[in-house]
């Protein structure tokens, strides 16, 4: 099942999702999380094991599914659900509290979105803005290729809803597992490494140009942020920027009111860019780290393949050093950087990223409460020292997760 198929269901009846495939960073999982639907993937043979009419408990947090549960199991889950509801209540109370650490370091918390239905989450979470708007979702749920005016209408509505809060629109990230039903499918041996995202945009500039036009028109008289996915080289960024500049010039010639400001950023999710950091932080107006793809490519482990998706821990010294190199290069060049992959929405992982120097995150709406609770209890100075020490005294362990969790327990940081 793909993310578009999920959106076809009547959400008022959908209480949980059990999938035979799909790891936690697969796109269907991301969409389910955005919609607040508990989901568990990788349940082998689920469709054969579950009969129509069966009672099923779906515990998305623990990744567990109970089919035809016994009364004692059901009661245990009821207790768990009550506990969770109490936690949710605590998170709701945190809504009015600032996202500032215990030692006074402000952290920017934004949410990820992709459809108009996500927009009320801005109010509900009191997030600072939308750090990643996945524009491909409109394309994935449509029956035909959205026209430029349909795209413009969505972007305008999103900006209207955001009421001045920043929105970072990501240009189309199609291809790979994000298939458009009405577009001719190109069979590829390795779709994740294939013709997708900015590669399509650069090779078929009509599509990218139309989208840029829609974005610039929607942003007329407002501050606009656009970012480009799957950029593998600085040259690709420059070529895409030329397309954007051309569209800006064209609209100006036609007398359109341009955006008040336009920032063009880049998703850092292809490891080759880590070796062009000095150039990319100079060229781009901002960076946004797509940890889902960055980790899949860094470890050569398919994020959609359950056999390998969780094989390597992003909290290992190798991945953390890679992430540190990005934030260091960005800080040196005064280039703003946000983490928008799933890693930035998990309290322990977000804590580690703060320890590396990251100060801005964009996550699913449901993650804002737990992440805020974590950071408000955090002493950044102490954490930074500890993370530096952990990375300096590496012993080749596969993961620093146990040490980071021990730090959290020691400092009473809820993760």
Residues that bind Mg ion (CB under 5 A): 269, 290, 293
The stretch among 55-63, 200-208, 284-292, 405-413 that binds ligand PEP (CB under 6 A) is 284-292
The reply to whether 340 belongs to the active site is yes
Residues 253-282 that bind ligand PEP (CB under 6 A): 269
* Residue 293 binding ligand PEP, by CB under 6 A: yes
| 302 scored as a contact of ligand PEP (CB under 6 A) | no
- Choose the contact partner of 291 out of Mg ion, ligand PEP, none; CB within 5 to 8 A by kind: ligand PEP
Report the nearest approach of Mg ion to the CB of residue 200 (Å): 14
Taking the least distance from each CB to Mg ion, the nearer of 3 and 290 is 290
**201-205 long-range Cβ contacts below 8 angstroms, 24+ apart:** 201/171, 201/172, 201/228, 201/240, 201/243, 202/236, 202/239, 202/240, 202/243, 205/243
Residue 290 or 347 having the CB closest to Mg ion? 290
Alpha-carbon dihedral of residues 316, 84, 116, 205, nearest 10 degrees?
10
Q: What minimum distance in Å lies between the beta carbon of 304 and ligand PEP?
A: 11
CA–CA separation, 111 and 119 (whole Å):
10
Partner in contact with 340, chosen from Mg ion, ligand PEP, none, beta carbon below 5 to 8 Å by kind:
ligand PEP
| The one among 22, 341, 345, 347 contacting ligand PEP by CB under 6 A | 341
Nearer to ligand PEP, 173 or 302 (CB): 173
User: Is the Cβ of residue 289 or residue 404 nearer to Mg ion in the bound state?
Assistant: 289
Kindly report the number of other CB atoms within 10 A of residue 193's CB atom: 14
Distance CA 153, CA 355 (A): 40
The catalytic residue among 256, 335, 340, 411 is: 340
Q: Residue 77 or residue 195: which is nearer to ligand PEP going by CB?
A: 195
Q: How far is the CB of 135 from ligand PEP (least distance, A)?
A: 10
- Residue nearer to ligand PEP on the CB measure, 340 or 413: 340
| Dihedral over alpha carbons 310, 312, 315, 317 (to 10 degrees) | 180
Q: What is the DSSP string of 236-297?
A: HHHHHHHHHHHHHHHHHHTTPPPBSEEEEEEEE-SGGGGGSHHHHHHH-SEEEE-HHHHHHH
Tokens of 113: 């979105």
What is the spatial distance between Cα 228 and Cα 198, in angstroms, rounded to a whole number? 7
Q: Which stretch binds ligand PEP (CB under 6 A): 65-73, 233-241, 285-293, 305-313?
A: 285-293
Among 292, 338, 364, 367, binds ligand PEP (CB under 6 A): 292
| Residue 87 vs residues 58, 81, 366, 414, 415: alpha-carbon distances, Å | 18, 10, 12, 11, 13
- CA 141 from chain centre, in angstroms, equals 19
Sign of CA dihedral 306, 311, 316, 322: negative
Annotated catalytic residue 335 = no
Asked if 314 touches ligand PEP (CB under 6 A), the answer is no
**Maximum CA extent, the chain:** 71
| Binding flag, residue 134, ligand PEP (CB under 6 A) | yes
Partner whose binding site includes residue 118, from ligand PEP, Mg ion, none (CB under 5 to 8 Å by kind): none
* Binder of residue 42, out of ligand PEP, Mg ion, none (CB less than 5 to 8 A by kind): none
Phi, psi for 292 (deg, rounded to 5): -60, -50
- Output DSSP code: residue 143: S
Q: Minimum CB separation from ligand PEP for residue 359, in Å?
A: 18
Least distance CB 109 / ligand PEP (angstroms): 16
Q: What span, in angstroms and rounded, lies between the C-alpha atoms of 177 and 162?
A: 29
* Interacting partner of 201 out of Mg ion, ligand PEP, none (Cβ under 5 to 8 A depending on kind): none
Binding region for ligand PEP (CB under 6 A): 30, 132, 134, 173, 269, 290-293, 340-341
Active-site amino acid positions: 27, 340
């Amino acid at each position: 099942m793909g993310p578009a198929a999920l959106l076809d269901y009547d959400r008022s009846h959908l209480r949980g999702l059990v999938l035979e495939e799909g790891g936690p960073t697969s796109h269907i999982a991301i969409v389910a999380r955005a919609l607040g639907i508990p989901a568990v993937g990788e349940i082998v043979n689920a469709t054969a094991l579950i009969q129509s009419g069966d009672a099923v408990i779906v515990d998305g947090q623990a990744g567990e599914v109970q089919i035809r549960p016994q009364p004692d199991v059901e009661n245990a889950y009821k207790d768990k659900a009550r506990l969770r509801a109490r936690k949710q209540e605590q998170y709701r109370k945190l809504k009015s509290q600032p996202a500032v650490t215990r030692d006074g370091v402000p952290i920017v918390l934004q949410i990820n979105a992709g459809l108009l239905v996500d927009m009320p989450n801005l109010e509900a979470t009191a997030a600072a803005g939308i750090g990643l708007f996945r524009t491909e979702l409109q394309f994935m749920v449509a029956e035909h290729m959205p026209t430029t005016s349909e795209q413009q209408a969505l972007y305008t509505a999103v900006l209207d809803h955001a009421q001045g809060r920043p929105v970072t629109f990501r240009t189309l990230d199609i291809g790979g597992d994000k298939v458009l039903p009405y577009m001719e499918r190109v069979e590829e041996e390795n779709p994740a490494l294939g013709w997708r995202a900015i590669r399509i945009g650069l090779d078929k500039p009509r599509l990218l140009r139309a989208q840029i036009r829609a974005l610039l028109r929607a942003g007329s008289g407002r501050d606009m942020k656009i970012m480009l996915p799957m950029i593998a080289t600085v040259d690709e960024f420059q070529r895409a920027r030329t397309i954007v500049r051309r569209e800006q010039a064209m609209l100006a010639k036609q007398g359109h009111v341009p955006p008040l400001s336009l920032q063009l950023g880049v998703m850092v999710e292809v490891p080759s860019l880590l070796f062009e950091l000095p150039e990319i932080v100079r060229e781009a107006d901002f960076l946004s780290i797509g940890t889902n793809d960055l980790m899949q490519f860094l470890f050569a482990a398919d994020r959609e393949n359950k056999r390998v998706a969780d094989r390597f821990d992003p909290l290992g010294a190798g991945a953390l050093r890679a992430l540190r190199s990005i934030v260091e290069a960005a800080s040196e060049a005064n280039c703003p950087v946000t983490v928008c992959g799933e890693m930035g929405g998990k309290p322990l992982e977000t804590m580690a990223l703060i320890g590396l120097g990251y100060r801005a995150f964009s996550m699913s709406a449901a993650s804002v409460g737990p992440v805020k609770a974590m950071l408000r209890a955090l002493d950044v100075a102490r954490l930074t020292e500890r993370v530096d020490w952990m990375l300096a005294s590496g012993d080749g362990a596969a993961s620093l997760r146990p040490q980071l969790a021990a730090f959290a327990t020691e400092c009473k940081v809820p993760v």
